[in-house]
Amino acid sequence: MAEAVFFRYQDQSSFLKKVDPRIKILLLLIYTIILYHTSTRGLILLSVFTIFLFTANYRIKSPGEIKGALLLSLFIGAAAYLSSSDLFFSILAVSRFLMAVLLGLVLIGTTHSVEIEKAVYWFVKPVPLISETEIAMRVRLTITFIPDIMETAAQIKEAGLSRCVQNVKNPVRKLKALIVPLLYAIIRKAEETALTMEARCYSGERDYALERFTLTDLLHLSTGLAVAAGTLLV
Domain ranges, ordered by start, for the chain: 1-111+213-234, 113-202
Q: What are the b/e assignments for 110-141, b being 16+ CB within 10 Å?
A: bbebebbbbbbbbbbeeeeeeebbebbbebbb
User: What pLDDT is stored for residue 11 in this prediction?
Assistant: 75
User: What pLDDT is stored for residue 3 in this prediction?
Assistant: 47
User: What pLDDT is stored for residue 149 in this prediction?
Assistant: 84
User: What pLDDT is stored for residue 82 in this prediction?
Assistant: 84
Q: Are 230 and 32 in contact (CB under 8 A)?
A: no
Instruction: Please state, in angstroms and rounded to a whole number, the distance separating the CA atoms of residues 101 and 107.
Output: 10
User: What pLDDT is stored for residue 70 in this prediction?
Assistant: 73
Residue 52, CA distances (Å) to 22, 65, 75, 183, 185 in order: 21, 18, 25, 36, 36
Instruction: Please state, in angstroms and rounded to a whole number, the distance separating the CA atoms of residues 182 and 152.
Output: 7
Average pLDDT per 10 consecutive residues for the chain, totaling 234 residues: 62 84 95 93 93 82 65 80 84 89 90 92 91 89 85 84 77 80 88 85 76 91 94 88
User: What pLDDT is stored for residue 12 in this prediction?
Assistant: 74
Q: Are 98 and 72 in contact (CB under 8 A)?
A: no
pTM of the model: 0.82
Comparing C-alpha atoms, which of 148, 46, 151 is closest to residue 106? 46
User: What pLDDT is stored for residue 24 in this prediction?
Assistant: 95
User: What pLDDT is stored for residue 198 in this prediction?
Assistant: 81
User: What pLDDT is stored for residue 23 in this prediction?
Assistant: 96
Instruction: Please state, in angstroms and rounded to a whole number, the distance separating the CA atoms of residues 157 and 179.
Output: 10
CB-based burial of residue 152 (10 Å sphere; 0-12 exposed, 13-18 middle, 19+ buried)? buried
User: What pLDDT is stored for residue 60 in this prediction?
Assistant: 67
Q: Are 122 and 212 in contact (CB under 8 A)?
A: no
Please, what is the angle between helix 132-162 and helix 113-124, to 10°? 140
